[in-house]
Structure 1
């Protein structure tokens, strides 16, 4: 049974257009434009999801952020993880020769099951990985009850 579902936005390219680009010899352009750009990984950070008996653990690869940049919210059956990096103020007296640092924002949403306890959700950011732990509700079953047949 799946308890967490991945909501992925559709690719901007249709499948037919993707195949047509490959057949026309533009495979390198397709790979470069769709997967090897900074935009792809900063707008769709990779996520690993692990289920343990006590919790679901989401590992989000998000290097270059600080813990203050993240916003995590749980509403109804969805958890949303977003981050926005503010650009540092530029010193106008210095001449910029080359600029490769580019910070963007991202937002990912996941459907969660009723077994997740909203009070047991916590997050930790360390070494470029945001680890979100979604604790499960305790599975309390009523004690076996003996039924007397009359």
Structure 2
């Protein structure tokens, strides 16, 4: 083995990590594709979780839940005084034939999402609309919640 004498005046070489990071990312992608097997184009173990938005007004809560590709008949919506539960099944429309699909990033299967509500609601008077893959719920607040806000005088 040959020792190289250290010279403090010699220019330090800069290391560029980006090419190595790209190679590492490709290796990690291959590893995850092997660890998460597919079954007919569907990822096993990964479930579809719908995204949600909540808007609160003085009188009610408005929920928007994004559920593309799910028929209304495959949805079950339950509203409790403090939460909303959405469950259903997103079914694959693609049939794999010889020479067919080689990769799918869509997630299919049964799902369930429980959303905690920021206020107690009157779950007897829920309005619902399902259009273009968006479920819209209008849920009135319980009468006790509407009267919670009290203006406090200062001074």
TM-score range, shorter chain: 0.5 to 0.7
TM-score, length-scaled by structure 2: 0.52
Structure 1's 56 and 42: CA in aligned 2 closer, same or farther, altered over 3 A?
A: farther
Report the equivalent of 2:58. Answer: 53
Question: In the superposition, relative to structure 1, how do residues 60 and 41 fare at CA in structure 2: closer, same or farther (>3 Å)?
Answer: farther
Q: 1:88 to 1:134 in 2, by over 3 A?
A: same
Per-residue deviation at 1:58?
A: 1.2
Please list the CA deviations of residues 99-128 of structure 1 after superposition, one character each: whole Å capped at 9, or x if unmatched: 457632221102235631011223211011
Gaps of 5+ in 1: 1-23, 142-150
Q: CA-to-partner distance for each residue in 1:27-53, whole Å, 9 max, x for gaps?
A: 6758xx7xxxx9799622211111122
Structure of greater Rg: 2
- How has the CA–CA distance of structure 1 residues 97 and 124 changed in structure 2, closer, same or farther, with 3 Å as cutoff? farther
> Structure 2: how far apart are the matches of 1:96 and 1:133?
46
Taking a change above 3 Å as real, the CA distance of residues 87 and 95 of structure 1, as seen in their structure-2 partners, is: closer
CA distance in 2, matches of 1:41, 1:51: 31
1:78 aligns with 2:83: yes
What is the TM-score with the length of structure 1 in the denominator? 0.54
Q: Distance in 2 between matches of 1:76 and 1:45?
A: 21
CA contact 1:58–1:132 (8 Å) conserved in 2: yes
- Asked if 1:65 corresponds to 2:70, the answer is yes
More strand by share: 1
Contact 1:120 1:136 in 2 (8 A): no
Q: How many aligned positions are there?
A: 108
In 2, Cα distance between equivalents of 1:41 and 1:49? 25
| Distance in 2 of aligned mates of 1:96 and 1:102 | 22
Q: Whole-Å Cα distance in 1 between the matches of residues 97 and 46 of structure 2?
A: 29
